[in-house]
Amino acid sequence: MKDFRCLVGVRQPARPLAAAVRDRIGQVAGQLEQVEHIVTVSRLDRPDGGVALVNEWRVNPDVPPALQHLVTPDMLGWLDHSEWEPGLGACRWRIEPFFMREAIRCDGVTRFEPAMGGRGARAAFEGRLDIDPSALSTVPMSWRAPASLAVEFLIGTLIPRNFRKTVEAVAGLLETGGQPTSAP
């Protein structure tokens, strides 16, 4: 099991920032490292103001040549299931990867807090990665170590790093005049 955490500070107030992360994330996919696209698969607006979202992420990381026959392009992505609080202070999320789906459990919470005297925000991203060793047994013995390393890299590094870049890109979007499509 691996815990990961990422704290990002930006010069945009917390609520507009959170709203933009929730509603406009697809617009910044092109600015993110090794991300092809982010598409909202489903959205459910709850009566209390909360939102349940499923976004599909497609990524194109540099897979080592030795693993390329094991990790095919259709595996490179995940579904991001998220449940946003009505006040936009936090969202709980769960990642459902296309690669070794049954072996990987990854979930966490993202919090948006006011900072810089209300002029900015801190976005804290915390998650946990759990890989089921028994599921890994389907992988040939000689490839288990590199496969687990690849999984750890993809999920333990790529996702938090992309979270940072996502928040910074969304803040940039707001700074250049863009407004969230759905006000909180």
Partner 1 sequence: MDPVVAIAHAPGADAGSLLDRALELAGFHAAMAERVAQALSARGACSAVVVPAMDAFAADSPAAADPALVERLLDVLFDLGVTDAVVGSTRATAALWLENRDVFVAADLLGYRYETPAGRPYEVVDLAEEVRGDVFPAWGALAGTPLSGAWLDADLRLVVAANRTDEDDGYALCLSTLLSVLPLTDKDYHYRYRRDAGEVTAELLAAAPPHFAVVDAVVSAHGAAGGRAPHALRTDTVIAASDAALADYIGALKMGLDPFVSPLAAPSLRAARPAAGTRILGPLEAWPGWINVEPGMLAAAAARRGFVTADRALRPALQQVDRELFPFRHPANDWMNRTFAPLAGAGDGGADGARLVAAVNLLLGEAERAGTTWGVLFDKDALRRRETRLNIDPAAVTDAEYDALAADLSIQAELLRGVAADARGLRWRFDDGAVLFDGARRFPVPFDAFAGAVPIHRAIQFMNDYAGGRALATGLDAEGRVVRQLERNLYLPQPNYTAVGGGMVIDVTKIETVEYAPRRQRMFWKTVKSENGSAVVDDGIVTFEALGEDTLVTIWGRQQFRLPPLWAALDRELAPDVKRALVADAYHRFLDRTFANLEAAAEGRDVRLGRSWSDASEGEPLPVEQAAELLKRLPSDGRFDLAGAVKALLRPQPGSAPQPVRIDADGFRHFEAAPAAVPSPLGTAMSGALEDLRHAAWVDAGAQS
Q: Which stretch binds partner 1 (CB under 8 A): 1-9, 22-30, 47-55, 93-101?
A: 1-9
Residues from 155 through 174 that contact partner 1 (CB under 8 A):
157, 164
Check binding of 6 to partner 1 (CB under 8 A).
yes
Residues from 109 through 128 that contact partner 1 (CB under 8 A):
115-120, 122
Q: What are the CB-based long-range contacts (under 8 Å, 24+) for 133-136?
A: 135/100, 135/102, 135/103, 136/100, 136/103
- What's at 18, amino acid-wise? A
Name which position in 65, 133, 140, 177 contacts partner 1 (CB under 8 A).
Answer: 65
Check binding of 69 to partner 1 (CB under 8 A).
no
Q: Which stretch binds partner 1 (CB under 8 A): 5-13, 18-26, 88-96, 175-183?
A: 5-13
Residues from 14 through 43 that contact partner 1 (CB under 8 A):
none
61 DSSP assignment = -
Q: Where are the alpha helices (DSSP H) in the chain?
A: 14-23, 133-136, 141-151, 159-175
Reduced to 3 states (helix: H, G, I; strand: E, B; else coil), residue 119 is: coil
Reduced to 3 states (helix: H, G, I; strand: E, B; else coil), residue 166 is: helix
Minimal distance, residue 50 CB to partner 1, in Å: 28
What does the alpha-carbon distance between residue 130 and residue 145 come to, in Å, rounded to a whole number? 15
Q: Structure tokens of 59? A: 């990524």
Check binding of 2 to partner 1 (CB under 8 A).
no
Supply the Cα-derived Rg of the chain in whole angstroms: 17
The answer to whether the beta carbons of residues 120 and 175 sit under 8 Å apart is no
Size of the site for partner 1 (CB under 8 A): 18
Which CB atom, from 7 or from 41, has the smaller least distance to partner 1?
A: 7
Residue with tokens 């990665």: 129
Which CB atom, from 81 or from 164, has the smaller least distance to partner 1?
A: 164
Minimal distance, residue 7 CB to partner 1, in Å: 6
Check binding of 7 to partner 1 (CB under 8 A).
yes
- Residue ranges in contact with partner 1 by CB under 8 A: 5-11, 62, 65, 115-120, 122, 157, 164
